[in-house]
Amino acid sequence: MREHVAPRREAAAGPSQKLQKALAGAGLGSRREIETWIAAGRVTVNDRVASIGERVGGADRIAVDGRPVRLDRSSERPKVLLYHKPAGEIVSRHDPQERPSVFDQLPRLRGSKWISVGRLDFNTEGLLILTNSGDLANRLMHPRYGMEREYAVRVLGELSPDHLASLQQGVRLEDGVARFEQVEPSGGSGANRWYRVVLKEGRYREVRRAFEALGFAVSRLIRIRFGEIVLPSSLRRGRYLELDQAAVAALMGASGAAAGVSGSALASAPVRTPRRQPRPGQGRGEGRPSAARKRTPPRKRSRPN
């Protein structure tokens, strides 16, 4: 079987980049997702079926499922949302069980879509970062950049010093060793105890499985920090906040997507208040405020009978 090789063509005008990176930067999806589209023949370049890894530029005509794609969006600053995910929502657009999705709560975008930076399982709460830039999402998730994830974990029972040491030295799971950067007791009463844990990867249900491997059931799990971004205490469950341009620039700098901006700017940069507030009136989140401004819903005026 002969391997398909893309035909040679003249260099496109302007700087070129790999096709999957260009489409991710335009906000169509993550690189991994786009690679599956290319492999399935859904992407064309200059009216021919594209191949993974080929380079494209501004003069190329690119289409997905026959629809033209604008690459110049990749030069625009990405949009970034902080969403306080409640338990009982799935981080997926397609669910055979038709459970509530976080994407149902978000504002609509034109010409692109929201991409989640990692996932939180159905019963996990807390900070979920979403962006319309597949390139930024890929950088934030890639292990090379070592973005820390911090969680508040409630378990049934109290961990011994040996248990704490095991979590930091590494607990063997079926898909490899889970190793926490930090594990600290964080209070609790009765049979329940809280712990703060920090790790630099995000495998499927990794925190829960690591505790279960030591014989402890996790009754509540909340992500309270991702990299430099802390879940704002003013952000209620089921609501979102949009980062302003200064905070987005800081996030891009911290992920290596842009240079010259300190990640510490995320601690002070304000965010834009959302135009739409899904699920008002739900409980408050946990963690310290970071780059957030509280929005007070308008009061309902009673009408005379």
Domain with CATH 3.10.290.10 in the chain: 17-75
In three state form, how does the secondary structure of 150-214 look?
A: EEEEEEECCCCHHHHHHHHHCEEECCEEECCCEEEECCCCCCEEEEEEEECCCCCCHHHHHHHHC
Q: Cβ neighbours of residue 6 under 8 Å, at least 6 residues apart?
A: 50, 51, 54
Residue 150 is predicted with a pLDDT of 96
CATH 3.10.330.20 fits 80-144+228-272, yes or no: no
For residues 169 and 159, the answer to whether their CB atoms sit within 8 Å is: no
Residue 273 is predicted with a pLDDT of 40
* pLDDT band, very low/low/confident/very high, at 186 (cuts 50, 70, 90): very high
Give the whole-angstrom CA distance, residue 26 versus residue 133: 6
Q: Which amino acid is at 287?
A: G
Out of 104, 121, 162, 244, pick the active-site residue.
Answer: 121
E strands along the chain, which residues? 17-18, 43-45, 48-49, 55-56, 62-64, 67-68, 80-85, 115-116, 125-131, 149-156, 171-173, 176-178, 182-185, 192-199, 218-226, 229-230, 240-243, 271-272
In which residue are the tokens 């209620």 written? 236
- Pairing state between β 80-85 and 125-131: antiparallel
Assigned superfamily of 17-75: RNA-binding S4 domain (3.10.290.10)
* pLDDT band, very low/low/confident/very high, at 272 (cuts 50, 70, 90): very low
Q: What is the pLDDT of residues 124-161, one digit of tens each?
A: 999 999 999 888 888 888 777 778 999 999 999 999 99
Give the whole-angstrom CA distance, residue 77 versus residue 133: 9
pTM for the full predicted model: 0.67
For residues 218 and 211, the answer to whether their CB atoms sit within 8 Å is: yes
CB atoms within 10 A of CB 240: 22
Residue 14 is predicted with a pLDDT of 53
Annotated catalytic, 121? yes
Domain with CATH 3.30.2350.10 in the chain: 148-226
Residue 151 is predicted with a pLDDT of 97
Q: What is the pLDDT of residues 210-264, one digit of tens each?
A: 999 999 999 999 999 998 899 999 999 999 999 998 888 888 887 766 433 333 4
Give the whole-angstrom CA distance, residue 61 versus residue 246: 33
Mean pLDDT calculated for residue range 90-118: 91
Per-residue pLDDT at 31 exceeds 70: yes
- Residue positions counted in the chain: 305
CATH 3.50.50.60 fits 148-226, yes or no: no
For residues 131 and 83, the answer to whether their CB atoms sit within 8 Å is: no
Per-residue pLDDT at 120 exceeds 90: yes
Residue 210 is predicted with a pLDDT of 96
